[in-house]
Structure 1
Amino acid sequence: MPPDESHSIRLLHIDASARTGISGRDRHGSHTRRLSQRFIERWLEARPMDVVTYRDVGSAPPKPVSEDWIAAAFCPPDCRKEAQQAVLAESDQLTAELVAADLIVIGAPMYNFGLPAQLKAWIDNIVRVGVTFGFDRSRSGEPYWPMLPLGKRLVILTARGDFGYDHGGRLAGMNLVEAGLKIPMAYIGLHDTNTVAIEYDEFADGRLMASIAAAEVAVDHLVGRLLASDPAGN
């Protein structure tokens, strides 16, 4: 698809690996950083006018939700004290980045079957009552509703030590990474999701090399498919 310079796409690129290096380049580097970097590079090769916001929660994790955070978040905005506004300042920034993005690309390694704590902290900061989801106990029917603008897309780029975590695989029921991202993101209004995974990391043999190669091809194909459609998901 030829670049449409009249409309730039806003991408939010998040890395969550505790490893700061990139596999294939750095010793003991991260596979998810490898895939997320490849995705962004391929995207910008086709659409260099697009804007990327980068957030490395792996090396600079958001503060976890605290009692003060909860009190501030559930306090009506016009009643918040200055200290409460300060408590929510980081969450406000993270939420603003998410709301502004058309495409969210997350490098999410599997740690003990689930998400890294750093990425879970990001999720807890962006699932905000009155900001990304609404709640009204007096509302008929469902008292909760999503508030994210329509048309966003999520790309999950993950890596696993074992194999067989995809749908129908031997360990599919233990794959809490995709559920841990898809469920809260759908809850706030983001339903369009694609996933690419590297497996066999703990085996460190030819199967890992083949999985990396297949994942890189899958990333390239995914970029191509998204670009061939409306990149903003409209």
Structure 2
Amino acid sequence: MLEPNQNPLRLLHIDSSARPGQSGRDPRGSHTRRLSARFVERWAARRPSDIVTYRDVGQFPPTPVDAAWVEAAFTRPEKRDAIQRARLGESDHLVAELVAADVVVVGAPMYNFGMPAPLKAWLDNIVRVGVTFGFDRARDGDPYWPMLPTGKTLVTLSARGDYGYDPGGRQAHNNFVESGLAAPLAYIGLHDRHAIAIEYDEFGDQRLAASIAAAEQAVDALVEQLVRQHTAPVLA
């Protein structure tokens, strides 16, 4: 007989909207917070023993990368002084959260065709030479290689004021949210990715309502798919 292996998985739940509430519940609430909360709630219902780490970069933005960060990051660990180690402390913590996660769920609204600045700051803090990617100029072929543990899944939950940003759509060439996350995360080793989005927010009519309903159904279906994918059967 086969039964699911219920060893706890770790979810990293990131919200980045400037809006603190959730649409459908709070005035002017965020669609992406609504979708990410739904994903995590549905996941917890299916796998209640899993561990969720929540990070709200929209309300508590990471410190942007600056010259001191770059100098510290590109100094060999054994040669860093106390100031450099302290400057990388936040980055170290963010990287540790990502390394520990099996599923990374990111609420990423579209702002001016791209992701919010705090989410970009998070990305810049976790893409680190010698930590999440390797570099050797003397290496044959590609001098870069990913260093993240394998087996992770990225789920991007977005929202757009306009419509037609999915592949093949009228605005697909202007969508820098999903690709802006997927490219750097694939670069460090996270290749399994899924994306769902709400559109028509600026229209506020039945098309928006239909898009919300479709996105919520897609979230529910994706949870079921990923739970099956990440729950390996074992002999009882």
For the superposition of Structure 1 and Structure 2, which TM-score range results when normalised by the shorter chain? Answer: over 0.9
CA distance in 2, matches of 1:107, 1:16: 6
SS of 1:176's equivalent in the other structure is coil
- Residues 53-202 of structure 1 aligned to structure 2 (within 5 Å): 53-202=53-202
SS of 2:124's equivalent in the other structure is helix
Shift of 1:140: 1.1
CA distance in 2, matches of 1:10, 1:3: 16
Counterpart in the other structure of 1:32: 32
Q: Is the 8 A contact 1:3 1:46 kept in 2?
A: no
CA distance in 2, matches of 1:142, 1:48: 42
CA distance in 1, matches of 2:93, 2:3: 33
Shift of 1:231: 4.5
SS of 2:230's equivalent in the other structure is coil
SS of 1:131's equivalent in the other structure is coil
CA distance in 2, matches of 1:60, 1:148: 25
Code of the residue aligned with 1:82 in structure 2: it is: A
Q: TM-score, normalised by structure 2?
A: 0.96
Code of the residue aligned with 2:211 in structure 1: it is: S
Q: Is the 8 A contact 1:18 1:59 kept in 2?
A: yes
Q: Is the 8 A contact 1:114 1:176 kept in 2?
A: yes
SS of 2:156's equivalent in the other structure is strand
SS of 1:229's equivalent in the other structure is helix
CA deviations over 1:144-165 (Å, ceiling 9, x no partner): 0000000000000000000000
The size of the alignment, in residue pairs, is 231
Code of the residue aligned with 1:4 in structure 2: it is: N
Code of the residue aligned with 1:51 in structure 2: it is: I
SS of 2:61's equivalent in the other structure is coil
CA distance in 2, matches of 1:2, 1:208: 41
Code of the residue aligned with 2:5 in structure 1: it is: D
CA distance in 1, matches of 2:58, 2:151: 27
Q: Is the 8 A contact 2:199 2:211 kept in 1?
A: yes
CA distance in 2, matches of 1:231, 1:150: 16
CA distance in 2, matches of 1:100, 1:161: 34
* Identical pairs, percent: 66
Counterpart in the other structure of 1:4: 5
Which consecutive unaligned segments of at least 5 residues does structure 1 have?
none
Shift of 1:4: 3.2
CA distance in 2, matches of 1:177, 1:2: 38
Counterpart in the other structure of 1:45: 45
Q: Is the 8 A contact 1:110 1:160 kept in 2?
A: yes
CA distance in 2, matches of 1:4, 1:217: 26
Shift of 1:230: 2.5
Q: Is the 8 A contact 2:73 2:128 kept in 1?
A: yes
Code of the residue aligned with 2:37 in structure 1: it is: Q
CA distance in 2, matches of 1:127, 1:98: 11
CA distance in 2, matches of 1:191, 1:213: 28
CA distance in 2, matches of 1:187, 1:93: 20
Shift of 1:3: 5.7
CA deviations over 1:127-156 (Å, ceiling 9, x no partner): 000000000111111100000000000000
Q: TM-score, normalised by structure 1?
A: 0.97
Which consecutive unaligned segments of at least 5 residues does structure 2 have?
none
CA deviations over 1:82-116 (Å, ceiling 9, x no partner): 00000000000000000000000000000000010
